[in-house]
Structure 1
Amino acid sequence: MIYIYNDFGGTHTTALAAAYHLKIIPPGGRKLTKKEILAVPYFNKLNSSDMGKFIFHGIDDDGNPVYTVGRGASKHMITAFNNLSLLLHEKYNGNEKIVFSNTSPTVPFAMTIGGLFSRWLKIDFIGVPLLVLGAKQCYRNVIRLVDYTKKSGHATEEKVQVLYNDSFK
């Protein structure tokens, strides 16, 4: 199985989801510290030029690769990824399940504004504290989303599964 977490920029909640999935950061009941959040691989590190690139984060305990991707403002990017995945399965007899999981519903307002200031306007002294605040606000939802993603991946017989995760709003 291949897990691909996605959202607008691919550098905040997706990075947190991949880190929780891979147990880089603990999924326990405590909030992360600023230091732990900023140490998450790729957290607040990607730019608009990285949109659409699949970023490999590691292999989980079950031997499954975990990726993230920023899809930008396009509502059609995941549809295209889904269709491409199905085409590759059909054409090349692929047997690896692929799970696309949208982390956007977990993004709090502070993280949206923090990302705007930090990634787009390059004003880190305003953006980074807001991103840290946002990460602390959404960590429980991100953990639930990762758990749901893993369970859904194991439960489905579909070759490609797209999880929009609207219930995490």
Structure 2
Amino acid sequence: MIFIYNDYGGTHTTSLAAAFHLKKLPQHVELSKEQILNVEYFNKLKTSDMGTIIFHGIDEDGHSVYSVGRGRSKIFVPGLKNLYELLEKRNNTGERIIFSNTSPTVPLAMTFGGLFSRRLGIDFIGVPLLVKGAKQAAAQIAYLVEQTKQIAKESEHQVVILENKKDFLYP
């Protein structure tokens, strides 16, 4: 099985989701600034990296974990699904793929932090906002990852696209 966490930029909530999925971050505790900033790819990707599918590792069940920034595109993930289905018909690997949207977990502090840090290059404003936003979102992201894993286990579909609307997340 392949898990691909996706959002607008692919560098904040997706990197945190991959880290939670791979058990590189502890759950149910407040993350420190150092833990957040040491997550691989967190706040390190550029706009030019959007669309690049980034490998994060293999989970405890042997499943590959990736992330991708899809920008504003509403057709990027469905396009990847279509491409995968085409390749699957030709090669018949039997591999399942789960796309999970982390965008609903993004708090306002992270949105502005990403704007200042990634878009404007003003890290002294952006990074503290990103850390604050990551701390605010960590529990939601960890929950989203657990729900993604559970749905993946229960689904019999070859390709699953989880939009993870706000009502999907815990209150």
Q: 4+ runs of 1 displaced by more than 2 Å?
A: none
Tell me the equivalent position of 2:83.
84
CA-CA distance at 1:168 after TM superposition: 2.7
CA-CA distance at 1:5 after TM superposition: 0.2
Partner of 2:45, secondary structure, is: coil
1:64 and 2:63 matched: yes
CA-CA distance at 1:30 after TM superposition: 1.2
Gaps of 5+ in 2: none
Tell me the equivalent position of 1:159.
158
Distance in 1 (CA, whole Å) between partners of 2:6 and 2:107 is 16
Residue identity in the other structure for 1:5: Y
* Structure-to-structure mapping, 1:1-169, within 5 angstroms: 1-27=1-27, 29-166=28-165, 167-168=168-169
CA-CA distance at 1:94 after TM superposition: 2.3
Describe the superposition over 1:71-120 as per-residue Cα deviations: whole angstroms up to 9, x where unpaired. 01111111101111111111211201000000000000000000000000
Distance in 2 (CA, whole Å) between partners of 1:91 and 1:6 is 26
Partner of 1:125, secondary structure, is: helix
Distance in 1 (CA, whole Å) between partners of 2:86 and 2:144 is 27
Distance in 1 (CA, whole Å) between partners of 2:18 and 2:37 is 14
Distance in 2 (CA, whole Å) between partners of 1:90 and 1:144 is 33
Distance in 2 (CA, whole Å) between partners of 1:104 and 1:149 is 14
Partner of 1:68, secondary structure, is: strand
Distance in 2 (CA, whole Å) between partners of 1:156 and 1:88 is 21
The Cα RMSD (Å) is 0.9
CA-CA distance at 1:144 after TM superposition: 0.6
Q: Identity over the aligned pairs, expressed in percent?
A: 58
Distance in 1 (CA, whole Å) between partners of 2:129 and 2:141 is 17
Partner of 1:6, secondary structure, is: strand
Residue identity in the other structure for 1:40: V
Gaps of 5+ in 1: none
Residue identity in the other structure for 1:95: G
Distance in 2 (CA, whole Å) between partners of 1:20 and 1:168 is 16
- TM-score, length-scaled by structure 1: 0.97
Distance in 2 (CA, whole Å) between partners of 1:133 and 1:26 is 17
